Amino acid sequence: MTRLRRQAVWRWSLWTLRVATAAGLAIDAYVHFDLAALYAEAGGAINEGVLFRVEAAVALVAAVAVMAIGRRVGYLAALAVAGSALAAMLVSRYVDLGQLGPFPDLYDPVWFPEKLLAAFAEGAACVTALAGAIIIRPGKKSPPIAGPRQRRPAGKSSESTGGTAP
């Protein structure tokens, strides 16, 4: 495989990670915005509806950050958002913690389609964000899809070099 082809594969794989992470967070945000009204029925200043809307907004900000900057800090933020949302969902599904301070009792022992969709999206976002954080070196931005064209020495064409770049 030529150097240019390896670079193209690398760029596309990084973009795939970015898009998959942002998509997982966007699905998470959609589900939380959609369910916020349903869970806002409990009284109090901080109810589940408020928590759902905050989670959705933070997930959207993290998705935009991953797509816009493509740096390790964006992937780490996405990992924190998706991981905390998945952990909160699993804890609220399997453990009844009761009311904690101003926060309502989040115990919800039932799986339903939207909850499963959010769980899978958060899990996928965790995996892809972790992969992106590992692959991207600190302080480095992931390369753009269309990189600079390499110049060939004067008088050499792709046919004379066997179709590969020098």
Q: How large a percentage of the chain has pLDDT more than 70?
A: 81
pLDDT at residue 144 above 70? no
- Residue 2 is classified by DSSP as -
Domain map (residue ranges) of the chain = 29-135
Confidence tier at 8 by pLDDT (50, 70, 90): confident
pLDDT at residue 165 above 50? no
Whole-number pLDDT of residue 139: 59
The string of pLDDT tens digits covering residues 118-128 is 999 999 999 99
The residue-averaged pLDDT of 157-163 equals: 49
Q: Which of 45-49, 51-55, 132-136, 151-155 has the lowest mean pLDDT?
A: 151-155
Residues 86, 31: Cα–Cα separation, whole Å? 13
Q: CB under 8 Å to 49, separation ≥6 — which residues?
A: 36, 37, 38, 39, 40, 41, 42
The residue-averaged pLDDT of 130-147 equals: 70
The string of pLDDT tens digits covering residues 53-106 is 999 999 999 999 999 988 999 999 999 999 999 999 999 889 988 787 777 777
**71 phi and psi, to 5 degrees?**
-110, 170
